[in-house]
């Protein structure tokens, strides 16, 4: 039976519009984005299969947003998921930029998590702030293992000067989901802080993004 033959209260789209998006499962939300299924599977069954094959929603979103095609997702369906991800990020970015200032570096955690949490590879990014700690921009600077070989202080200094930043918040993700700062994380943070002190840029925090709440290195006393 096709989803269009289901009672209206059980169809994902109608359920979302009448009862709210929070009432839908991950597979049902994916079904709304996918629009339709494939031969032999309705959109919800396809959503469940994609989630199971990927190992969860975060992994699936990372695959859809990455350069490698995702089995079971054609270009149109993949584009819808990537567009939804980008809209969510831009909405969070607007909220962040509307703040008069970041009262705490943790204010940026939701946005940075949305940018980095789902990625299947490590990304090191930088949130640039003015002298009142208002957001100027966010940039992904490096990809790969976060250590002295992949994060170059000279490039970080150059980027800060380009944005005329007075302060920064660093963030990187752990694809494993374990958000504990490693010895390499602590070492590169110290190196970057020392390099940026020379040009008058303060390092407010370095957030490690994994499953759950980001870990703040400032709150851990690691800056």
> What pTM value is reported for the model?
0.74
d(CA 26, CA 48): 8
The DSSP output letter for 5 is G
- Three-state DSSP at 68 gives coil
- Three-state DSSP at 133 gives coil
pLDDT of residue 136: 92
d(CA 207, CA 221): 12
- Three-state DSSP at 139 gives strand
d(CA 160, CA 68): 31
pLDDT of residue 69: 66
d(CA 136, CA 141): 15
The DSSP output letter for 2 is -
d(CA 166, CA 157): 11
Residue with tokens 């991800």: 85
Q: How many residues does the chain have?
A: 223
DSSP 156-222: HHHHHHHTT-SEEEEEEE-TTS--PPPHHHHHHHHHHHHHHHTTT-EEEEEEEE-SSSPEETTTTT-
Q: What is the pLDDT along the chain (223 residues), one digit of tens a residue?
A: 567 777 767 888 898 988 898 898 999 998 998 888 888 888 899 889 888 887 788 778 777 776 666 777 788 888 888 888 888 888 888 887 777 778 776 788 888 888 888 888 889 999 999 999 999 999 999 987 655 448 899 999 999 999 999 999 999 999 888 889 999 899 999 999 999 999 999 999 999 998 888 999 999 998 8
| 18 phi/psi in degrees, rounded to 5 | -95, -25
pLDDT of residue 148: 47
């Amino acid at each position: 039976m096709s989803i269009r033959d289901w009672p209206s209260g059980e169809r994902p789209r109608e359920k979302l519009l009448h009862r709210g998006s929070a009432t839908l499962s991950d597979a049902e939300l994916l079904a709304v984005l996918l629009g339709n299924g494939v031969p032999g599977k309705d959109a919800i069954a396809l959503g469940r299969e994609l989630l199971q094959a990927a190992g969860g929603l975060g992994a699936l979103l990372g695959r859809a947003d990455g350069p490698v095609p995702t089995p079971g997702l054609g270009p149109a369906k993949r584009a819808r998921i990537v567009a939804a991800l980008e809209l969510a990020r831009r909405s969070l970015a607007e909220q962040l930029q509307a703040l008069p200032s970041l009262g705490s570096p943790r204010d940026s955690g939701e946005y940075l998590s949305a940018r980095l949490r789902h990625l299947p590879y490590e990304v090191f990014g930088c949130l640039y702030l003015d002298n009142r700690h208002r957001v100027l921009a966010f940039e992904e600077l490096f990809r790969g293992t976060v250590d002295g070989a992949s994060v170059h202080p000279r490039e970080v200094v150059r980027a800060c000067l380009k944005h005329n930043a007075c302060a920064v918040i660093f963030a990187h993700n752990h694809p494993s989901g374990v958000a504990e700062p490693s010895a390499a994380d602590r070492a590169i943070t110290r190196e970057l802080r020392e390099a940026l002190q020379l040009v008058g840029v303060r390092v407010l925090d370095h957030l490690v993004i994994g499953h759950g709440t980001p870990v703040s290195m400032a709150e851990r006393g690691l800056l």
